[in-house]
Amino acid sequence: MPSLDLHFGSGAALGAAEIAAEARWLEELGFEYISVGEHFMRGSPPGPTQAALPLLAVAAGATDRIRLLSSILLVPFYHPLMLAKFAATLDIASRGRLTLGVGVGGEFPVEFEAAGLNPRQRGRRTDECLEAVRLLWTQDNVSFQGRHFQLNDAAINPRPHQDPHPPVWVAGRRDAAMRRAVRYGEGWLPYFYSPERYVDSVQKIHSFAAEEGRDLSGFHWGLFPYISLYPTEEEAANVAAEALGGRYLYGGDFLNIVRNYCLLGSPEQCAERLQEYIDAGARHIVFSIACPREDRERHIDEIANRLIPLVEAANAE
């Protein structure tokens, strides 16, 4: 059996002030991606928030090879002309290292309300924006008439470094997000996902692609797993639940949700669980650290030097 083509990355775990040093460190450790997410309101979610593209720009200037992934950029907050220009500029400055991970958001309606946006319209705004952005990246004069956005003879110059444009990975969990990935994306990046659900999403995306006449050759099958590395699964689950409990709003027993969807325990236990996702079809794995700030550096080191080698060895020829 041939070796699987696996790719690994890490979410920025140390904070905005450390992004340049962390990006250099992740590159030295051999990670292929550094990812940065975003929210716009302090207090919901708790703690500091940030904008993805500016931080990725700092990471770009500090590195030479590592790819820059937004995980995720909240598309409903952007006008397509601005998003196309910002992303193209970063792609040029990084010499073609941008991967634009996108989503609709919605976990925190207060940030939509603060921006004068209706969260119930976020899906349609996202679809329109992504359609217009792709046109702006690839055409000289763009006219676009949507419900939320209108463009008349619009253009950006220069275009992105990557030809025809940076890959777009669509995040989410629902069928609408899968259809969005088929129509506007080059990749799929789910989170809080079980291996069984990943299998189902691969099947659905292939089905939607057949309906759309879309060729999925070269499509990127991503995964954004939260990970908590401790001697036992129980300790790791408790730490992860504490770290994530204020970030996401889910009903029921959050500890059980964490156990179902996160990588927990020793590197060996996490590698065994991650293999289930790889068997389901995931190939681009970008870890998100779920632990207290003072333990994040240890997590990154153990992922690079213990977990990834275990996974690569298990999937070698």
Q: Quote the pLDDT of residue 44.
A: 52
Tokens describing residue 201: 């999403």
Q: Please, what's the b/e burial string for 170-201 (b: 16 or more CB within 10 A of its CB; e: otherwise)?
A: bbbeeeebbbbbbbbbbbbbbbbbebeebeeb
Q: Side-chain half-sphere of 43: how many Cα atoms within 13 Å?
A: 4
In terms of residues, how long is the chain?
317
Instruction: List residues bridging with 168 in a β-sheet.
Output: 100
Whole-prediction pTM value? 0.95
Averaged confidence pLDDT in the chain:
94
310 touches 268 (CB < 8 A): yes
Q: What percent of the chain has a predicted confidence (pLDDT) above 70? A: 95
For 26-103, strand residue ranges (E) read 33-36, 67-70, 73-74, 98-103
Q: May I ask the CATH class of domain 7-314? A: alpha beta
pLDDT digits (tens, 9 = 90+) for 272-300: 999 999 999 999 999 999 999 999 999 99
